[in-house]
Amino acid sequence: MSLEQLRKGVIAVLLGGNSAEREVSLLSGATVASAFESSGFTVRRVDPADENWLLQLEGVSFAFNALHGPGGEDGVIQGVLAALDIQYTGSGILGSALSMDKIRTKQLWQGIGLPTAGFVKLQADTDWQGVIDRFTKVFVKPACEGSSIGMMSADNAADLQHAFALAKDFQGEVLAEQFIDGPEYTVAVLGGNALPSIRMETDNDFYDYEAKYLSDDTRYHCPSDLSDEEELEVSELALRAFESLDCSVWGRVDMMRDSDGTFYVLEVNTIPGMTSHSLVPMAAEAAGMSISELVQKILELSVEVRS
């Protein structure tokens, strides 16, 4: 199926959904839908939170998945679309499920020798002081959420237990990840290639939800401050991390650099944000690609993968 054939049909843009990232997904989906429409595609916006959303998929040629978080980014919607014989953008069921689970992701990376921050799974009977003694400072994260939702830092046992109590209200398990004191980078992946890296800088304690989507004070450096050799290093690390999880088509790999210059991969996002504050469109623009060209490239690559 070619882009011209798809242009004659209907592209369903999946947006919204029921996860904690619903509002971000609505913005991402609106950006994607507008980009397609400006290029002459017929678009149908489909929100799985609607009662009759499955009926709205009848007659579509392809589905562009702009759903973030559980239900949309974890293999669930991918399985539904596969069962309905509807081709879709991005990673498949396995890659989506693996990358959404930060604990399984990090276990796999440790197994193949990729550098990733140390971590422990938190439970109600965790030795809170023991975790602090081991790591000094940690980030507490729900294992199956994105956009830094439910994430807090802790450097003492009381704060760690409090952070766990908040994070466990979200889907999946909870982990405490070793704090890395250094700059945060992200590398977008598109069709087996790494786009220019971006360094994020915020006055917040870390690059949290507010810094990602709400603040106008977050600074983005693209191209980042890396040398050519370092840029090659993070590009190769991002591609290894991405491919190790059976991810495909497009995504984003987040990493941090510690004081001795070592890069550590944090997580892979298989459906990154496409809002006005989002990083993949920024990296694509640095590579000379407009948002309309980006969504069409994602569509084209997805057709190749699903064919």
Catalytic residue ranges = 21, 147, 213, 252, 254, 267, 269, 273
Q: Are strands 174-178 and 193-194 parallel, antiparallel or unpaired?
A: unpaired
Q: Using N-to-C axis directions, what is the helix angle for 93-100 and 76-83, rounded to 10°?
A: 170
Q: How far apart are CA 60 and CA 43, in angstroms?
A: 9
H, E, C per residue of 193-215: EECCCEEEECCCCCCCHHHHHHC
Q: How far apart are CA 174 and CA 160, in angstroms?
A: 11
Q: In what order do the strands lie in the sheet with 62-65?
A: 42-46, 10-14, 62-65
Q: How far apart are CA 3 and CA 269, in angstroms?
A: 25
140 forms beta bridges with 152, 176
76: which residues sit within 8 A by CB, 6+ positions away? 70
Please measure the distance between the N-terminal and C-terminal CA atoms of the chain and give it in whole angstroms. Answer: 8
34: which residues sit within 8 A by CB, 6+ positions away? none
69: which residues sit within 8 A by CB, 6+ positions away? 17, 19, 20, 21, 22, 25, 145, 146, 147, 149
51: which residues sit within 8 A by CB, 6+ positions away? none
CB atoms under 10 Å from CB of 51, counted, come to 6
